[in-house]
């Protein structure tokens, strides 16, 4: 039985005006297609930006940007560095309704009720030993400026880690681990909320809650209605199709719900199962590519169709200059950063 997770109490305040995030917003694909977005490439103009600055600008998490750029320094990538920006995503299984969260993929997908579109955000997920419940629930409440009464078992863990002055209570404000906006799910004590440590988005950092960049929490909070359905899943292997080509998204299994054993077998079965759905049944597969994608576990969709059908997709990506100012130390808090 899962242990009790992150007890969070909230106070309402009227002082915070929710801003707009830099959400990745896409039209829903037609027919059997389930891949959105495109991989980009940028070249850093100077030495000020870190790999995580680029990730946050393009609404990617830590694991996504690091996996897509093996060998690149996280903190000092260097002027002129070419950075792969993996803003291409395999959508979760249908139905595409409300909020769907794939914890293994470290992604939240929001399907607005009145539009054929999807908005997707990176999320910080649960640490080992504090699993997020899987299944279906709803958003039952929304809070501005939440406070946090720290549960004793969570505080005990911080004390064991040497944080002898870890508080019992965090008041509302930019230093609150709950962030400044929180959406409560029907699962006991599980919230979708902002964070005072945005550089942890995409990592295993929470006690069961789902962490968003502050700007993404603001975007979602402004649009999400109480009663919105929420589905939480753990699917480390996802198969996608676009324009007759197949793709494999492979994430590292978390362990609590989907152990790492037989991972390659699971990937092969996922491809075969997907081939049996809709028009994908006629698509050829390069099984060597399936094996390489499964072993790499880079999250971003990798092509698994034969090379002869991917001549365009395999061409080098043109790199555009990235000359945005870094977020800076002031952005490592729960406040929404200034528009960039």
Which positions are catalytic? 193, 209
Nearest of 216, 232, 248, 208 to residue 103 by alpha carbon = 232
Q: How far is it, in rounded angstroms, from Cα 146 to Cα 179?
A: 7
- How many angstroms separate the first and last alpha carbons of the chain? 44
Nearest of 233, 228, 231 to residue 112 by alpha carbon = 228
Beta bridge partners of 148: 170
Q: How far is it, in rounded angstroms, from Cα 74 to Cα 69?
A: 9
Q: How far is it, in rounded angstroms, from Cα 38 to Cα 85?
A: 9
Q: How far is it, in rounded angstroms, from Cα 267 to Cα 92?
A: 15
Contacts of 240 (CB under 8 A, 6+ apart): 33, 34, 35, 90, 91, 246, 247, 248, 249, 301
Q: Is the peptide bond before 95 cis (omega within 30 degrees of 0)?
A: yes
Tokens of 59: 């609404």
**Pairing status of strand 302-303 against strand 245-250:** antiparallel
Hunting for tokens 């037609």 — which residue is that?
30
Residue 278 CA: distances (Å) to CA of 31, 272, 298, 321: 9, 12, 27, 40
Beta bridge partners of 110: 99, 119
Nearest of 104, 105, 91, 97 to residue 31 by alpha carbon = 91
H or E segment at 216? helix 214-223
């Amino acid at each position: 039985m899962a242990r009790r997770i992150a007890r969070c109490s909230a106070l309402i305040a009227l002082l915070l005006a929710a801003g707009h995030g830099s959400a990745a917003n896409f039209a829903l694909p037609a027919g059997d297609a389930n891949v959105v977005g495109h991989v980009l490439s940028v070249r850093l103009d100077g030495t000020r930006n870190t790999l995580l600055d680029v990730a946050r600008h393009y609404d990617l998490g830590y694991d996504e940007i690091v996996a897509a750029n093996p060998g690149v320094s996280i903190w000092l990538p260097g002027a002129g560095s070419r950075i792969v920006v993996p803003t291409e995503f395999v959508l979760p299984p249908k139905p595409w309704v409300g909020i769907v969260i794939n914890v293994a993929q470290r992604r939240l997908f929001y399907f607005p009720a009145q539009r054929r579109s999807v908005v997707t955000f990176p999320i910080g997920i649960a640490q080992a030993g504090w699993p997020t419940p899987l299944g279906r629930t709803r958003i039952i409440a929304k809070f501005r400026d939440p406070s946090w009464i720290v549960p004793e078992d969570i505080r005990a863990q911080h004390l064991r880690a040497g944080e002898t002055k870890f508080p019992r209570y965090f008041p509302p404000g930019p230093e609150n681990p709950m962030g400044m906006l929180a959406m409560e799910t029907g699962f006991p004590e599980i919230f979708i909320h902002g964070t005072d440590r945005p550089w942890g988005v995409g990592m295993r950092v929470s006690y069961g809650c789902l962490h968003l960049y502050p700007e993404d929490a603001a975007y979602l909070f402004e649009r999400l209605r109480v009663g919105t359905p929420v589905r939480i899943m753990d699917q480390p292997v996802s198969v996608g199709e676009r324009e007759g080509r197949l793709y494999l998204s492979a994430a590292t299994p978390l362990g609590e719900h989907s152990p790492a054993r037989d991972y390659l077998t699971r990937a092969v079965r996922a491809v075969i199962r997907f081939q049996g759905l809709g028009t994908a049944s006629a698509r050829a597969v390069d099984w060597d590519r399936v094996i390489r994608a499964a072993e790499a576990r880079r999250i971003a969709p990798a092509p698994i169709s034969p090379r002869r059908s991917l001549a365009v997709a395999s061409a080098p990506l043109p790199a555009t200059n990235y000359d945005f100012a870094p977020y800076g130390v002031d952005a490592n808090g729960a406040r929404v950063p200034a528009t960039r």
